[in-house]
Structure 1
Amino acid sequence: MKCNLQGTTRLPASSEDGDIFIGGVFSIHPKLDTVIYNYTTKPEPPRCTGSLNARVLRFCRAMVFAIEEINNSTELLPGIKLGYQIFDSCVSVPVAVHVASQFLNGQDHIFYKDRNCSQSGMVMAVIGDSGSTPSISISHIFGSFNVPLVSPFATCACLSDKEQYPTFFRTIPSDQFQADALAKLVKHFGWTWIGAVRSDSDYGNYGMTSFLDAAQKEGICVEYSEAFFRTDPRSKIKQIADVIRRSTAKVIVAFAASGDMSVLLDELALDPPPPHQWIGSEGWITDPLLIRFSFCAGAIGVAIQKSVIPGLRDFLLDLSPSDVAASSVLTEFWEDAFNCSLKESKKLLLGFNLDKRVCDGTEDIKALVSPYTETSQLRATNMVYKAVYAVARAIHNAACEETNDTTQCDKHFKLETKQVFAELKKVNFSQNGYPVSFDVNGDPVAFYELINWQKSESGFTELVTVGYYDASLPKGQEFHINRNISWTDGGTQVPVSVCSESCPPGTRKVLQKGKPICCYDCIPCPEGEISNTTDSPDCFPCSDEFWPNAKRNTCSPKPVEFLSFDEVLAIILATFSGLGVTLAIITAVIFLRHRTSPIVKANNSELSFLLLFSLTLCFLCSLTFIGAPSEWLI
């Protein structure tokens, strides 16, 4: 009894036979052709449409380059040839899921009930996808079958959950690290009032959520937070552009994919807003196709570390006619790049593209200016390269043995995906000087470069590395800025973006009703109270010996007023006091001398002496009011 595989298999964009297969899923085209189902005939397989993304094509070719390097190596997997199948997911979850199922089914279209599954062409691991959303979907599928998925692009922090995505690994850092880096970057420059835009995808939504949580901890307020996607109606994109134009925040944090960002910037370019300081995520900050938007000059953001892959550029440029003709995506790239049609082109045979000339072999790819040939800013490309080598190392450790200083690999060894999965957890090596390892969550160590869009003397915008962020360093030491930053409009002064200016000493903050904590009014301190710090929430009274100054920002000692001995009034008072004391003493002496006389006795001598003593003290008491007062010593 035999069973036929239902459904239509998709053709790979690029493939090569081998002893062990590695799968690849990349979004080479930006969208999926819309299909209207009539439910009366079998629907055609979904087709990818839109302009081919030459940058993503470079990623695919980098995967092929790495596999060919490994196949030619005598140290890694000697005697075993790696094969590959690379598919285009068209930024579509259904297509990505279809491809994932096809990877698991292998290449057998007929299954016999009384035979074991041959597992012909079943992949041992998969590289991809180009985004977090499709990676989340296919990771659920691969996880059920212990197939490792190593993504060079999916940065969603949610993918670190090993209960949900047990076999997921990535060579690019998680968005949690990126969100923390962006929040600390905003705080570093004193921006407390920002706007936020994001891709309406798992990458943008999860990333922005992490950023907003980190920003709140840093005391940063958000004026608006808008989500959009490249396929949204233009009315929605225009609405978000108007929000940006009307906003009072001078700093905008954009957590978006480059394709989505291009749509938003195209809309803003129709009526450029006042200068804003753009803060970019790694998803778009290094895209060379976006630097054409001059109003974004001065943008700053984090990016994957720039790298060098020896031999890659020569490989990318070494496209023979047979190579191009053998691959549908290379054929499409060649025809689009040189505006000509190959003789073997299906479109030409069908009568399309009649306005294009026939490619005659004079096309020079070395002179072509394209994201495909751009190798001076290898960032995500190196993530693909490292992912392939990580899988190859895991397969090597599972299928090869070291004996007498030689490596023996058996291509007939029945390798299982769970073995590759187990070995992937333990890989730890360096490739071209770049470390490759995974923590318990399948994440690498987070290291970002700080990228600044600077205008050169020729007027062109360039991507300049001005520092780096290393999450492995102690808290507070992660950021290192080692070059001058060019700000909005090429200025050298750090832009200011606050909802309310800082309240100076002598005032207190009063929050504006219904607004974030960064928006407040500055109220002068009431009579008798001061505040001596910036942005003080309260005023407080001075101590008894002090009173507020005119600005009510400090307590000044109260001036001491007293009757000095050299003043006229003091001299007169002291004179009369001395005269009174003298007369009292003379009277007392006379009374004492004649104390036995009848007249003294008749006046009660004891009482008389008491009165004279009291008068003396009264005269002396007035002297205590003259001179500077002093504290009593107890």
Structure 2
Amino acid sequence: MLLQVNLFTLIWTLLAGHVSCCDYFESMCGARGPGDIIIGVLNACHSKVQNLEGRIKPERFNCTGFDLTSFVETLAVIHTIDTINDSGFLPGIRLGYLVCDTCSDASKGIQGAIHMLAINQTKPFGCDFIERPLVKAIIGARYSEVSTAVARLLGLYMVPQISGTSSANTLDDTLRYPSFLRTIPSDVHQTHALAQLMAHFKWNWVGVISGDDDYGKAALNDFVKYAEDANVCAAFNEVIPHYLGHPESNRRISEVATRIQSSSARVVLLILKGQLVEQLFKVMISKGISRTWIASDSWSQYQPVAELTGINTIGNVFGIRFITGPNPGFERFLTNLSPGPAAVNRFIEEYKNLRFECTTEVQQHKDCLNSRPADQCPLPDSLKLKSKDACELPDPQKANDDFLVHALNQTYAHRLATWSIAYALRALLQCNATMCTGERDLKPCDLLLEIKKVNFTLDNKQFYFDKSSLATGYELINWVKRLNRKHFEVIGRYDVTKRTLSIEEKTIEWQTPNKTIPESKCSESCPPGTFQKISTTFCCFNCSDCEEGTYTNVSDLPNCLKCPGDTWSLRGWKICHQRNESFLKWDDPFVISLLVVTGIGLLLLFSIFIIFLNKRHSVIYKVAGGKIVFVMMAGLAVSFGAVVLFVSKPTDDICKARQTVYALGFTLSISCILVKAFRTFLAFLLDMNKQHMLNKLYKPAVIVVSGTGIQGLICIFWLIFDAPKVEHEISRQSMEIVLQCNEGHNWGFGIMHSYIALLASICFLLALKGRKVPQRFNETGYIIFSMIIHLFVWVCFIPIYVTKIQQRPAVQASAIVVSNFGIIFCHFFPKCYMMLCKKKKDTDRQSYLKNVRNFSISTISNALSNTSVSSSDLENSDKEIDLTDTGASTPISSRASTMTIQAESHNTGISSSHKIRQRLRAKSL
């Protein structure tokens, strides 16, 4: 908006007649060549306007700072026009040119455009614009800031404008700039290529420095958008005034240099004009700061920067430039530089004066070199353009050398712009091989339509305008060390149609201490096994371990990868592996120990079997239970056999078998112990009525069969309605698939164990009641202790079984072994000891009966001291109770006990016997 106000203020000032057109435009354009059709050239042959900020009235612009790059680009247009004229491409038509200097300023560019649009530059500007101005098309300007302003003006009259360097994407807007065209791609492609370059080298934390002009602002906005898509973040974003004469430029450059030095970003993108980069690099070199620099197209081949003193200490520099091509004869044109016949070129004159004219400063430098070493005579910046032959040539304007050949940059785009106008003119003028029949004073709007339709071949390449830009691409260049300066080397290309970047990394020599690719990241690299967890921005992150079932096998992945197929990984793993099946294996140390103990148990049972078989006629054998001990051994052997079923890979059948085998085997043993406990309880029960009544229930075979049969029914119902089966227990925190038996809803498992616990508890209570039997032949203590062992083991087993799911098989197998050994040690070892180690007189029948008799006497004496016995009880006491199962070979009667009492009473006197009888009648034993 401000630009438009300035434009119309300028026009109004001119129209008001404050100054004559001749005075205002005198000597404004620096070069012209005669021709039938004039092509205008707007270029920044000077870098700035002197005292622009103090300008208060329309007066002549005083431009300073000769720009060698823009000068060569201007010469490329002039040389191409001369080539077209000499080739007869437009028969009978000669192209002329008018070159106006923009001095890198938009207002100065508008001034030049107005001059080109005038009917006759010798007339006042009061004459209005017409449809056929002197200049039919304009090539330029160099900077997007100037092109944007000029395009607004030229768009009013649809005068074609073609730029070979202005790449701001805002110029793609055909509504605001309908007559603007360019022979280079839009910055939309450049910024996308720059973002891809940074992503390729994994630079996700970069600094950005741009100018405050339209080109810098538009390029910055596009880069931020594409950088985010490429996971690249801006560590900082600084702006420098685009105008070189700005009073704040030096201060801002110093601040930006400090910002770069303090930042952790090791890569910096510079979207600036070359003169600003030159000033910035001087500060960086003086501070010894090295970074990796990314150059936009505006300075990617700027020779003054490449030739700075100390430029090789600045670090790697990568730039992006438009694809170039040959310009036949241009080098010869530069080495024989002259305006040409009937042409005027003040820019050539100024260049030759700067190059070859002898000045006092040149003479002083030469005198210094003659008297001092070269290192004591530094070359001032103002003399860097001077030839070593200065002050030795008689006429600077007639001198020439090859200096400009080394300053060749992107002149190919200007050649394309000139040829595109020529091809459009050929079509519009209806030219053939000998003549052009069209009207020469053509309308610029008609020429614009033809330019947009051109499709021509140059250097075996086809060119046409896609919307407003030629379909070309970019080249990625690397600034390579060459002596004390930088040399430009192409290392890659960007295809604008495919939007892909290709880079030849092998040709890059990295200027880092270890000669490797520098890193520029917000955070440290995340090693394999971790992923980047975003902290503040998406480029700043913390390294977090991959969760179970995921992995990363390379560094700096944003997300962990899922394990493929049936593989799995633990937290923080770099790779996935197959899970291992976990079960009790034969080679496991615990299993080996368990099987050894089980084998020892079976071996002990076999040894006990042999001992009892040999001592089957002894009283101890009969006291131990007689033939029932062999049944107990069989049950324990089966129970030990169940332990083996807990080893190896489980199947559904094994899961069913191991619980059933253990249940039946151990229940059989407990049922036999129940018989022994019940027998002992009955044998020494003093209440004769209860003894007589309970004696009817004492049927060993029935007890054993019934006790085991009930367990068998429990197991059958369990197997039918809720049978155990194999399940695969998979944990996220483990690399193992635990194969184990699922006992169903555990009601069958619980009932089975509860039934065994019930039998054990009954044995315990019966043994507890009969614990006062003769000590030498006492079974009750062993029964009590063995049942306590069993109940304690299985009470401890329950919480472990519930909480330690993976250890269930090992825990249950261990519990079975301990229970079995508890029975072996309590029931068989004492009897074996008595059979093998006791004297025969202590274990024969007489000794046994004597102990029973002594026990009966002492027990009944204690009872009679507190109890009266009725006559009916005494009569009942005469009835015989069969206690053969106690181990005696003949019945032991209650009468014998009574007789024993009487015999003992006789020794104390007849009177006491009478009292005892009275007490026996009062209360039954």
Cross-structure match for 1:374: 406
Kindly state the Cα deviation for residue 258 of structure 1 after the two structures are TM-superposed: 1.2
Cross-structure match for 1:345: none
Higher-Rg structure is 2
2:350 and 2:229 map into 1 onto residues whose CA distance is 49
Kindly state the Cα deviation for residue 609 of structure 1 after the two structures are TM-superposed: 4.0
Matches within 5 A, 1:201-220: 201-220=213-232
Aligned 8 A contact 2:196 2:501 in 1: no
> Is residue 98 from structure 1 mapped to residue 119 from structure 2 by the alignment?
no
Cross-structure match for 1:444: 470
Cross-structure match for 1:223: 235
Cross-structure match for 1:486: 509
> Is residue 532 from structure 1 mapped to residue 551 from structure 2 by the alignment?
yes
Cross-structure match for 2:637: 578
Structure 1 pair 373–612 and aligned structure 2 pair: CA distance change class (3 A) = closer
Cross-structure match for 1:426: 453
Aligned 8 A contact 1:194 1:253 in 2: yes
1:308 and 1:425 map into 2 onto residues whose CA distance is 24
Matches within 5 A, 1:60-459: 60-74=74-88, 76-107=89-120, 109-110=122-123, 122-229=134-241, 230=244, 231=246, 232-273=248-289, 275-291=290-306, 292=308, 293-320=311-338, 326-340=344-358, 360-361=394-395, 365-369=399-403, 372-374=404-406, 378-402=408-432, 406=433, 408-410=435-437, 412-440=439-467, 442-456=468-482, 458=483
2:134 and 2:342 map into 1 onto residues whose CA distance is 26
SS across alignment from 1:488: coil
Kindly state the Cα deviation for residue 517 of structure 1 after the two structures are TM-superposed: 2.4
2:574 and 2:333 map into 1 onto residues whose CA distance is 72
* Higher helix residue share: 2
Root-mean-square deviation over aligned CA pairs: 4.2
Structure 1 pair 156–183 and aligned structure 2 pair: CA distance change class (3 A) = same
SS across alignment from 2:301: coil
Aligned 8 A contact 1:546 1:558 in 2: no
Kindly state the Cα deviation for residue 251 of structure 1 after the two structures are TM-superposed: 1.0
Kindly state the Cα deviation for residue 630 of structure 1 after the two structures are TM-superposed: 4.5
SS across alignment from 2:113: helix
> Is residue 468 from structure 1 mapped to residue 496 from structure 2 by the alignment?
no
1:582 and 1:278 map into 2 onto residues whose CA distance is 84
Structure 1 pair 337–434 and aligned structure 2 pair: CA distance change class (3 A) = farther
SS across alignment from 1:360: coil
SS across alignment from 1:497: coil
Return the letter of the residue paired with 1:282: D
Structure 1 pair 43–176 and aligned structure 2 pair: CA distance change class (3 A) = closer
Aligned 8 A contact 2:39 2:138 in 1: yes
1:242 and 1:393 map into 2 onto residues whose CA distance is 51
**Structure 1 length as normaliser, TM-score?**
0.80
Kindly state the Cα deviation for residue 170 of structure 1 after the two structures are TM-superposed: 0.2
Kindly state the Cα deviation for residue 199 of structure 1 after the two structures are TM-superposed: 2.2
Kindly state the Cα deviation for residue 579 of structure 1 after the two structures are TM-superposed: 6.0
Aligned 8 A contact 1:143 1:166 in 2: yes
> Is residue 9 from structure 1 mapped to residue 11 from structure 2 by the alignment?
no
SS across alignment from 2:97: strand
Residue by residue, what CA displacement relative to the aligned partner does 1:244-264 show, whole Å, maximum 9, x if unpaired? Answer: 111111111112221221121
1:36 and 1:205 map into 2 onto residues whose CA distance is 22
Aligned 8 A contact 1:31 1:48 in 2: yes
Residue by residue, what CA displacement relative to the aligned partner does 1:278-312 show, whole Å, maximum 9, x if unpaired? Answer: 11112112122212322334211211223221111
Residue by residue, what CA displacement relative to the aligned partner does 1:77-125 show, whole Å, maximum 9, x if unpaired? Answer: 1111111111001111111111112222232544899x99887762111
Kindly state the Cα deviation for residue 235 of structure 1 after the two structures are TM-superposed: 1.5
SS across alignment from 1:374: helix
Kindly state the Cα deviation for residue 66 of structure 1 after the two structures are TM-superposed: 1.0
Aligned 8 A contact 2:160 2:181 in 1: yes
SS across alignment from 2:39: strand
1:547 and 1:264 map into 2 onto residues whose CA distance is 52
Cross-structure match for 2:892: none
Cross-structure match for 2:69: 55
What percent identity do the matched residue pairs reach? 24
Aligned 8 A contact 2:321 2:476 in 1: yes
* Higher strand residue share: 1
Structure 1 pair 43–359 and aligned structure 2 pair: CA distance change class (3 A) = farther
Cross-structure match for 2:542: 521
1:112 and 1:246 map into 2 onto residues whose CA distance is 55
1:501 to 517, 524, 549: 524
- What 5-or-longer segments of structure 2 have no aligned partner? 1-14, 360-389, 606-632, 640-664, 676-694, 719-723, 726-737, 745-925
Return the letter of the residue paired with 1:296: I
Cross-structure match for 2:5: none
Aligned 8 A contact 1:317 1:365 in 2: no
Structure 1 pair 324–366 and aligned structure 2 pair: CA distance change class (3 A) = farther
Return the letter of the residue paired with 1:240: V
Residue by residue, what CA displacement relative to the aligned partner does 1:436-460 show, whole Å, maximum 9, x if unpaired? Answer: 31112x112241111111224x454
Instruction: Tell which has more relative contact order, 1 or 2 (C-alpha 8 A, sep 6+).
Output: 1
SS across alignment from 1:425: helix
Kindly state the Cα deviation for residue 363 of structure 1 after the two structures are TM-superposed: 7.7
Kindly state the Cα deviation for residue 546 of structure 1 after the two structures are TM-superposed: 8.8
Aligned 8 A contact 1:285 1:301 in 2: yes
Residue by residue, what CA displacement relative to the aligned partner does 1:383-420 show, whole Å, maximum 9, x if unpaired? Answer: 11110111111111111245xxx453136444111110
Matched pairs, number: 582
Structure 1 pair 367–525 and aligned structure 2 pair: CA distance change class (3 A) = closer
2:226 and 2:333 map into 1 onto residues whose CA distance is 42
Kindly state the Cα deviation for residue 530 of structure 1 after the two structures are TM-superposed: 7.8
Matches within 5 A, 1:11-26: 11-26=28-43
1:130 and 1:498 map into 2 onto residues whose CA distance is 35
